[in-house]
Structure 1
Amino acid sequence: MSSKPADDHSSSASDSAEQWRRRRRLDEIFGDVVPETMADAGESAHTDRGRGWYEQNKPPHHG
């Protein structure tokens, strides 16, 4: 059996605080390399281009 009580909420809080400190330390060292949220690929602003634009800008090897 584990030596930790199952209903010890203080260990959960200390684990969370430790994770936060670890994250802050990594951010200090490496910086914020990847943003927390990223734009979805389907949300790009190319929707105003009609079929004619794609036909005019089609590479020659696509016939």
Structure 2
Amino acid sequence: MTSSEPDRAERERRRKAAEMLGDLLPATTTDETDEGWNEQGGTSRDEEYLRDVPPHHG
């Protein structure tokens, strides 16, 4: 067994794993987008305060 055989086997194992699993991590997470942050233009200041109420204040 030569020193390149384990490297070749490891590359093949990783290629198969990537083919089966695909991208596990998205390129952009939801924290980096406005999605889910209820971003709307032109809302009143009262609506903004109501939207930002902490969960324990119900």
Q: Which is higher, the Rg of structure 1 or of structure 2?
A: 1
Q: Taking CA–CA contacts closer than 8 Å with sequence separation of 6 or more, which of the two structures ends up with the larger relative contact order?
A: 2
Task: Indicate the TM-score class for this superposition, using the shorter chain for normalisation.
Answer: 0.3 to 0.5
Q: TM-score, normalised by structure 2?
A: 0.37
Q: TM-score, normalised by structure 1?
A: 0.35
